[in-house]
């Protein structure tokens, strides 16, 4: 079966996560991604654990499947020539160097677009390409800190609980950069014009905060920090059940609110004026949560899930990662799949989250450092075997 991005070639000079996950998403859909890594060291992501039984980096595995790895010393003139030859025959170029570095190396958009005017040039940065912080470096935690998202999980003392337990800024920046790449490709199909596309940790995470951010922009009020989200229409809250497991439920509308109170044996709350509207519940949230906590602790999680389901109230278990990976829903939709890894053997990995029903994506393997250097330089860049051997001797590749 054909893949939707077959025939699209990506030159990937990114490292760590924001850039590599973007190009992996394109590879999932059939693009041929050539990962250009520094000679001898490779992407620093290769050295980030934890590790599989045979030494595989989980971090690198998560961001680099499908790719062809070549090693190039891009600081040399011959190394630059290799990149230019590949750009000439490619559709997308991706980099996430500190702003200004790509230009100093000779790989800025203006330079590469002169070689290939149709090139889609992807830039992933920390802060965006304009403004007083534009040229500063940054990592995932910077996006979380400056976007406002950490303020939604402040501790009672007013300090952020370090960072959210996963790299949401890197991942969101990557996903939006892949979206931008697809829009730019669509525009190029219509007009023949390439262009630069950029996303940042800061801007992407502000977009992820989404309607909560817009609530502040509209009302001027910061969100109240709580394990419950209360609006004029409903309530979402989390609780611990009798067996010590987490549970979350969502009540939408007054009718469901009354039904939920009665289901929990809290009939008195249905007529309590403190909880007769979303606004009143917000004012009295601590009393409301305390009453619901006490009720939820009387039964095990599975019992509550069955009761909520029978009452047609939206509820879900709060899974740890092991529970999420093993759940029949995740397996049925191939959100987690098993591959035959060349080093680790049978290994579970995340599947492709976007489902194209006629031209679906696929899961692939990550490359060893420099595994495809000869193949790419001869097959795409047009170098002879003698030229490749000479460049190896000169430590260019």
Would you put residue 263 in left (φ > 0), alpha (ψ -120 to 50) or beta?
A: alpha
| Dist. CA 337–CA 148, nearest whole Å | 34
Residues 237 and 161 in one domain: no
Q: What is the pLDDT of residue 154?
A: 58
End-of-domain residue from the set 285, 318, 351: 318
Residues 60 and 97 in one domain: yes
Which tokens is 286 given? 């601590």
Q: What is the pLDDT of residue 162?
A: 53
CB–CB of 84/160 below 8 Å? Answer: no
φ/ψ of residue 196, rounded to 5: -90, 140
Residues 63 and 185 in one domain: yes
Which tokens is 156 given? 């009672």
**Shortest CA distance to 274 belongs to which of 261, 263, 265, 264?**
261
Q: Is residue 4 part of a domain?
A: no
User: 362 lies in which domain range?
Assistant: 9-209+329-393
* Structural domain count, the chain: 2
Residues 238 and 306 in one domain: yes
Q: Is residue 222 part of a domain?
A: no
Buried b (16+ CB within 10 A) or exposed e, 289-324: bebbeebbeebebeebbeebeeeebebebeeeeeee
Residues 95 and 204 in one domain: yes
| Dist. CA 48–CA 56, nearest whole Å | 10
Reported pTM: 0.89
**Shortest CA distance to 237 belongs to which of 293, 295, 305?**
293
Residues 300 and 175 in one domain: no
Residues 55 and 195 in one domain: yes
Please report, for residues 107, 111, 266, the alpha-carbon distance to residue 129 in angstroms, rounded to integers and kept in the order given. Answer: 16, 17, 54
CB–CB of 237/266 below 8 Å? Answer: no
Q: Is residue 150 part of a domain?
A: yes
Q: Is residue 308 part of a domain?
A: yes
Q: What is the pLDDT of residue 265?
A: 95
Buried b (16+ CB within 10 A) or exposed e, 364-383: bbbbebbbbbbebbeebbeb
**Shortest CA distance to 367 belongs to which of 83, 18, 66, 86?**
66
Q: Is residue 216 part of a domain?
A: no
Residues 343 and 303 in one domain: no
Q: Is residue 214 part of a domain?
A: no
Residues 45 and 126 in one domain: yes
* Residue-level pLDDT, tens digit, the chain, 397 residues: 689 999 999 999 999 999 999 999 999 999 999 999 999 999 999 999 899 999 999 999 999 999 999 999 999 999 999 999 999 999 999 999 998 999 999 999 999 999 999 999 999 999 999 999 898 888 898 888 889 888 777 554 545 455 577 899 999 999 999 999 999 999 999 999 999 999 999 999 999 999 888 888 888 888 776 777 887 778 888 899 999 999 988 888 888 889 999 999 999 998 999 998 888 888 898 899 999 999 999 999 999 999 999 999 989 998 888 999 999 999 999 999 999 999 999 999 999 999 999 999 999 999 999 999 999 999 999 999 999 999 999 999 9
CATH number of the CATH domain containing 345:
3.40.50.10540
CATH number of the CATH domain containing 289:
3.30.1540.10
Please report, for residues 40, 41, 110, 117, the alpha-carbon distance to residue 104 in angstroms, rounded to integers and kept in the order given. Answer: 22, 21, 12, 20
| Dist. CA 192–CA 276, nearest whole Å | 59
Distance, CA of 213 to chain centre: 20
| Dist. CA 145–CA 127, nearest whole Å | 12
| Dist. CA 260–CA 263, nearest whole Å | 5
End-of-domain residue from the set 276, 294, 318: 318
Buried b (16+ CB within 10 A) or exposed e, 227-249: ebebeeebbebbbebeeebebeb
3-state secondary structure 201-255: HHHHHHHHHCHHHHHHHHHCCCCCCCCEEECCCEEEEEEECCCCCEEEEEEECHH
Residues 165 and 233 in one domain: no
Q: Is residue 287 part of a domain?
A: yes
| Dist. CA 107–CA 100, nearest whole Å | 10
Residues 301 and 359 in one domain: no
End-of-domain residue from the set 318, 349, 375: 318
Q: Is residue 110 part of a domain?
A: yes
- Location of structure tokens 């059939």: 30
Residues 44 and 181 in one domain: yes
| Dist. CA 229–CA 223, nearest whole Å | 9
Q: What is the pLDDT of residue 2?
A: 87
Cis ω before 197 (30° cut-off from 0): no
């Amino acid at each position: 079966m054909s893949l939707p991005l077959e025939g699209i070639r990506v030159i990937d000079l990114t490292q760590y996560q924001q850039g590599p996950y973007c190009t992996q998403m394109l590879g999932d859909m059939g693009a041929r991604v050539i990962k250009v890594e520094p000679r001898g060291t490779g992407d620093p992501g290769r050295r980030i654990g934890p590790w599989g039984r045979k030494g595989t980096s989980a971090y690198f595995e998560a961001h680099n499947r499908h790719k062809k790895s070549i090693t190039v010393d891009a600081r040399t003139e011959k190394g630059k020539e290799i990149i230019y030859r590949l750009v000439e025959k490619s559709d997308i170029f991706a980099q996430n160097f500190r702003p200004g570095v790509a230009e100093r190396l000779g790989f800025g958009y203006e330079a590469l677009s002169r070689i290939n005017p149709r090139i889609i040039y992807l830039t992933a940065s920390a802060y965006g390409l304009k403004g007083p912080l534009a040229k500063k470096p940054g990592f995932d935690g910077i996006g979380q800190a400056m976007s406002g998202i950490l303020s939604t999980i402040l501790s009672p003392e007013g300090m952020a609980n370090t960072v959210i337990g996963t790299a949401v800024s890197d991942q969101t920046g990557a996903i939006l950069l892949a979206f931008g790449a697809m829009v730019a490709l669509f525009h190029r199909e219509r007009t023949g014009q390439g262009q630069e596309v950029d996303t940042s940790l800061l801007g992407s995470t502000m977009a992820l905060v989404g309607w909560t951010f817009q609530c502040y922009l509209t009302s001027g009020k910061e969100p109240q920090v709580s394990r419950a989200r209360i609006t004029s229409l409903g309530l979402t809250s989390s609780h611990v059940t009798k067996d010590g497991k987490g549970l979350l439920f969502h009540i939408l509308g007054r009718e469901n609110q009354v039904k939920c109170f009665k289901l929990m044996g809290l009939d008195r709350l249905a007529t309590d004026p403190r909880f007769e509207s979303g606004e009143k519940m917000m004012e009295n949230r601590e009393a409301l949560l305390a009453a619901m906590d006490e009720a939820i602790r009387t039964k095990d999680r599975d019992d509550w899930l069955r009761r909520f389901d029978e009452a047609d109230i939206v509820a879900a278990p709060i899974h740890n990662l092991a529970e999420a990976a093993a759940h029949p829903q995740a397996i049925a939709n191939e959100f987690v799949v098993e591959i035959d890894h060349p080093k680790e053997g049978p290994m579970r990995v995340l599947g492709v989250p976007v489902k194209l029903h006629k031209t679906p994506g696929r899961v692939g393997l990550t490359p060893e450092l420099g595994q495809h250097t000869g193949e790419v330089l001869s097959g795409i860049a047009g170098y002879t075997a003698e030229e490749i051997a000479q460049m190896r001797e000169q430590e260019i590749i």
